[in-house]
Amino acid sequence: MGRPKATTPWRDRVTEKNILFLSKVLERVAAQGSISAGARELGLSTSAASRYIRELEEALGVRLMDRTTRQLRLTEPGTLYLNRATRILDDMSELYEAVWNLQGDVRGLIRVACSSLVGHTHVAGLIPQFLELYPHINVEINLTALAVPLVEEGYDVAIRIGPQADSALQCVKLGEAGSVVCATPEYLDRQRRPVHPSDLSGHSCILTNVARQLGAWRFEGPEGPVVAPVSGRLSTNNIEAIFQATLAGFGIANLPDMLVKPAVIDGRLERLLPGFVPEATPIYVLHPHRERVPAKVRAFIDFLLDAIPESLDERAVAR
């Protein structure tokens, strides 16, 4: 692809008004990994999105993306351009919000990636209240068990369970999710009930690799911390799957009390090891590092800190 003639100035080829729009199309297509997905998110047809990217490439005189039937890949100039353009788009979004905030008004779209469990039990029910407080804000919340990459996927905020090591994100602790070690009465009738965490080594434990190690469960006991070795034939990264396997009588599980409380109350599950408190799991709200946090994000985080109690097991199964 040849460069435009020098006699054609940039401002005649691509105006300052549409350069932001063309850059936004490129950013969304790159984030979604396909032209069709990026176009859908922007409310465009696939052909229109393709045309806009081609316009940008022609104006720059370079190819920004290599396109195949299976994938899109940014070229070296495309990567350079997108990195700078993303920062500019973020700056423009913050500028827009800052001007609106001068009127005492917070507005915009907040995209939230939230742990399925916390979303179902705590966050989703609070969103209508937040929207009533901020009538000019829209919220898109996606519940997932995955650690979605915020910047690449265009999210403003994530709510996750467990320790967080991503240095590109700022973490604010919302509280802790308490846990309950439990099993069905039918399973316990077939096996000897454990009275100490060390007894778990002789049981079929249903394991998760989310927020705790596969081979050990940690407790706080009357005489201090206890680390109990555990093993089992079934492990998964999905807490709901562990819950269902536990209800089916497959073994003993260590599950968030916000999930198992109804089943403990109605007798489908029995809480085990009274006197030994399973290690709680922290819950965080995260957002990308920025020199200035957008007002809409700050409002949402402040709302969560106020609406969700410091300890999320406030309504937990009684210990």
Supply the pLDDT for residue 188: 96
Cα dihedral 41, 45, 50, 54 in deg (nearest 10): -100
Q: Which of 88, 118, 146 is the last residue of a domain?
A: 88
Q: In the chain, what percentage of residues exceed pLDDT 90?
A: 44
Is residue 80 pLDDT above 80, yes or no? yes
Same domain? For 157 and 290 the reply is: yes
Contacting residues for 76 by C-beta, under 8 A, at least 6 apart: none
Task: Please count the structural domains in the chain.
Answer: 3
Q: Which of 44, 62, 88 is the last residue of a domain?
A: 88
Domain membership flag for residue 2: no
Same domain? For 223 and 241 the reply is: yes
Same domain? For 63 and 189 the reply is: no
Question: What strands lie across the sheet with 270-271, from one edge to the other?
Answer: 234-236, 205-208, 252-256, 179-183, 270-271
Of the candidates 203, 283, 208, which has an alpha carbon nearest to the alpha carbon of residue 241?
Answer: 208
Assign residue 286 the CATH number of its domain. 3.40.190.10
Same domain? For 183 and 272 the reply is: yes
Q: In the chain, what percentage of residues exceed pLDDT 70?
A: 85
Domain membership flag for residue 99: no
Same domain? For 172 and 309 the reply is: yes
Same domain? For 61 and 208 the reply is: no
Task: Give 116's Cβ-side CA count (13 Å radius).
Answer: 10
Please, what sign has the CA dihedral across residues 79, 114, 171, 235?
Answer: negative
| Most confident stretch, 86-90, 177-181, 268-272, 285-289 | 268-272
Phi, psi of 177 (to 5 degrees): -95, 115
What pLDDT band is residue 11 in, cutting at 50, 70 and 90? Answer: very low
The CA-based diameter of the chain, rounded to the nearest angstrom, is 86
Is residue 227 pLDDT above 80, yes or no? yes
Domain membership flag for residue 4: no
Domain membership flag for residue 93: no
pTM reported for the whole predicted model:
0.61
* Other C-beta atoms lying within 10 Å of the C-beta of residue 319: 14
| 267 in Cβ contact with 124 (< 8 Å) | no
Domain membership flag for residue 59: yes
Supply the pLDDT for residue 211: 47
Tokens representing 100 are 């609106």
Same domain? For 247 and 270 the reply is: yes
Assign residue 240 the CATH number of its domain. 3.40.190.290
Same domain? For 291 and 265 the reply is: no
Is residue 222 pLDDT above 80, yes or no? yes
Domain membership flag for residue 246: yes
Phi, psi of 141 (to 5 degrees): -115, 125
| Most confident stretch, 52-61, 82-91, 106-115, 185-194 | 185-194
Q: What is the pLDDT of residues 259-268, one digit of tens each?
A: 899 999 999 9
Supply the pLDDT for residue 7: 45
* Other C-beta atoms lying within 10 Å of the C-beta of residue 246: 25
What pLDDT band is residue 309 in, cutting at 50, 70 and 90? Answer: low
Supply the pLDDT for residue 5: 47
Same domain? For 36 and 113 the reply is: no
Range of the domain at 235: 179-279
Query: Is pLDDT larger for residue 6 or for residue 162?
Result: 162
Domain membership flag for residue 195: yes
Mean pLDDT of the chain: 84
Assign residue 78 the CATH number of its domain. 1.10.10.10
Same domain? For 292 and 170 the reply is: yes
* Other C-beta atoms lying within 10 Å of the C-beta of residue 85: 21
Supply the pLDDT for residue 311: 43
| Most confident stretch, 4-13, 23-32, 84-93 | 23-32
Q: Give mean pLDDT, residues 219-236.
A: 93
Same domain? For 298 and 261 the reply is: no
Supply the pLDDT for residue 62: 92
Same domain? For 117 and 56 the reply is: no
Q: β-strand 108-115 against 72-74: which pairing, if any? A: unpaired
